[in-house]
Amino acid sequence: MSMLIAQSRAEMIRMIRNVYFVFWSLLMPVLFYILYTRIFTTDAVDAKEWNAHYLMSMTCFSVMGSSIMTLGIRLVQERAHGWVTYLRVTPLPNSIYFGGKMIGQTFIHLCSIIVIFTSGYLINGVSLTFSQWVSSALWILAGSLPFLALGTCIGTLRRVDTASGLSNALYLSLALLGGMWMPLNVMPDWLAQIGRWLPSYSFGNGAWSIIGGGVPQLRDILLLGGYLAVFMLLSTYIRSRQKEA
Amino acid sequence: MNSHNNVIQLDNVSKQFGKKQAVRQVSLQIAQGSITAILGPNGAGKTTTIKMMLGLTSPSSGEIKILGLPPGHKQVQQRIGVMMQDVSVMDFLTVREIIRMVHSYYPSPLDTAALEKLTGLSPADLNRRAEKLSGGQKRSLNFALAMTGNPDILFFDEPTVGLDSETRRQFWSQIRTLAQQGKTVVFTTHYLHEADEVADRIILFNEGAIAADGTPEQIKNGMTKRTLSFTYIPPLNGGSRESAHTENDETAAAANQAMIEKLSGVDQVLYRQNRCILQSQDTDALIRQIITMQLPVRDIRIETGQLDDAYASMLNNVKEEQ
């Protein structure tokens, strides 16, 4: 147990000190939030609802980014730099190595949620009920799982450059097509159709349902669960293949 | 050396990477408390052998036992310390934080204060980010990390590459102290003099197999044979040296071959340009035979090979073959 605590603690410290992470996961979403709720505003939409909706979008965007990019790229880096080789000759079990990473990530996601929710409140005075704040935060924490699994898939790549390029491309297209930057209904119909099947849409949609006064739909839960299973299988499969080689 | 205190045992271990045979049929035992150098040129199979002992890669055939258990077994991992080549340290953490983290991996570790002392780093450096340390300082940190679990066996892969001579000297003096405490040390190196100075046993690897195994003294004797060399007196007047493949030359070569075969006490015959080089333990006896037999040779030289030369020539041979 002390092993897991020490490992998680180290992972948390590393994330907080990482400027790259702070920029992508905290600063970017907050900047986007300011941009799309204070600067480019249209009268057509209900401002109050839009501010809350877009706050959820940006929080999901942040957490998804840290799950795919930070986790994936760091896994590749640690292997490329020989750190993983070193750990394999120590008694540290692989499960604790990954466990520490997941706990570290979740802690960081919680920080992201708190920071972005707070800035929503401060910038636009977004007001939700206490249970809406809490349940949307919990939804975002739980909904990050398939993206963490996707991050571990990225983490099987050999080169940091490839991992960084691929995770960037995946992250940005998932965000765009999942309706995190702009609602799907302003996109061409065929694009929106594709978007509705992406995990990013279901991730955001759950949070949007909560702030709209509802609960996440079963379809979104099932889709996210399905993606989680697929990404976990894929990651496990690649890792077992690499071990044989 | 009896089998009770052998802490490492390899039986007929081979490793194949695709078509390349990296390690061939290696069998060896390493006794507790010994310092063993695995010596050899790059690509000789040293690192692959160490990696198999550590359980980082599994042998294609053969069996390895570390402390009586398969490599990679948790109980083995708790009792070994490892310093690999080119291992960077985890980024965004200070030296102290890394030590504390690795400390948590072992059931009966050295205390963190002792480990901090082992790094030889100043208190200010201990609070620095580990990735910002110099190459030598990182190596010192890696050494401390290898010692964290208070291991019984220490593995070092090319531990002194890139270290200045003073740091190197300090490193080896620490290693000797550890061996005196009963710890077993296995390290790879391609520096012969390092193996000679530090190890009490050298296992010489060449092309994936053990080429020699013994004390530094034995290895040196085996590698520094005396040689006697001479040039032939052309046996026929027409036998010009420039035309390499005339019938006369072939006849001459055959005649020489026959002469040399008559000599006793020759271990190896080498031909280099016009010189014939004979390796022998007793060059005095050879010279007597040559005089008595009145062999048509001139410019006889007797040389004692320098250890470094012998090793360097072995390395060159390997490179040419690759």
Residue B268: CA atoms inside 13 Å, Cβ hemisphere, count? 9
Residue A113's pLDDT is 96
**Domains of chain B with CATH codes:** 3-222 (3.40.50.300), 225-303 (3.30.70.1510)
Per-residue pLDDT band for A38 (boundaries 50, 70, 90) equals confident
CA distance A150 to A79: 17
Residue B80 forms contact with A (CB below 8 Å): yes
Which of A147, A149, A120 has the alpha carbon at shortest distance from A211? A120
Angle between helix A71-80 and A145-154 (nearest 10): 30
- Element at B26 (helix H, strand E): strand B20-31
HEC per residue, B122-169: CHHHHCCEHHHCCHHHHHHHHHHHHHCCCCCEEEEECCCCCCCHHHHH
Q: Give ipTM to 2 decimals.
A: 0.84
pTM for this predicted structure:
0.79
Per-residue pLDDT band for A192 (boundaries 50, 70, 90) equals very high
Residue A90 forms contact with B (CB below 8 Å): yes
Residue B83's pLDDT is 92
CB contact under 8 A, A81 and B87: yes
Question: Chain A closest CA to B307's CA: distance in Å?
Answer: 35
Tokens at residue B196, please?
A: 């000679």
Query: 């003294």: which residue's tokens?
Result: B217
Query: Lowest-confidence range among A25-34, A115-124, A194-203?
Result: A25-34
Query: 């190596």: which residue's tokens?
Result: B139
Angle between helix A130-143 and A47-65 (nearest 10): 30
CA distance A204 to A63: 11
Helix (H, G, I), strand (E, B) or coil at A81: coil
Angle between helix A199-211 and A160-177 (nearest 10): 50
Tokens at residue B78, please?
A: 């708790």
Write down the mean pLDDT value for chain A: 92
Residue B308's pLDDT is 65
CB contact under 8 A, B105 and A91: yes
Name the residue of chain B whose CA is nearest to A14's CA. Answer: B92
Q: Give the mutation candidate from A16, A17, A86 for the B interface (greatest B CB count, under 10 A).
A: A86
Residue B35's pLDDT is 96
CB contact under 8 A, B93 and A13: yes
Which of B299, B256, B223, B275 has the alpha carbon at shortest distance from B40? B223
Mean pLDDT, contiguous 10-residue spans, chain B (322 residues): 75 92 94 94 89 94 96 94 82 93 94 89 91 87 93 93 85 92 93 87 91 84 76 56 56 73 82 80 85 85 70 60 46
Question: B72's torsion region: left (phi>0), alpha (psi -120 to 50) or beta?
Answer: left
Question: Chain B closest CA to A131's CA: distance in Å?
Answer: 36
Name the residue of chain B whose CA is nearest to A8's CA. Answer: B101
Helix (H, G, I), strand (E, B) or coil at A129: coil
Query: Lowest-confidence range among A151-165, A190-204, B152-166?
Result: B152-166
Residue B296's pLDDT is 81
Residue B239's pLDDT is 42
Residue B301's pLDDT is 87
Which of B136, B201, B187 has the alpha carbon at shortest distance from B157? B187
Per-residue pLDDT band for A116 (boundaries 50, 70, 90) equals very high
Residue A82 has pLDDT above 80, yes or no: yes
Per-residue pLDDT band for A169 (boundaries 50, 70, 90) equals very high
Residue type for B232, please? Y
- Look at A56 and B134; give whichever has higher pLDDT: A56
CA distance A207 to A135: 8
Is the CB of residue A92 less than 8 Å from the CB of residue B105? yes
Q: Which residues lie below 8 Å from residue B97, measured CB to CB, with a gap of 6+?
A: A10, A13
Which of A19, A40, A63, A36 has the alpha carbon at shortest distance from A174? A63
**Cα A40 → chain centroid:** 25
CA distance B33 to B38: 16
Question: Chain B closest CA to A79's CA: distance in Å?
Answer: 10
Query: 């050396």: which residue's tokens?
Result: B1
Residue B314's pLDDT is 63
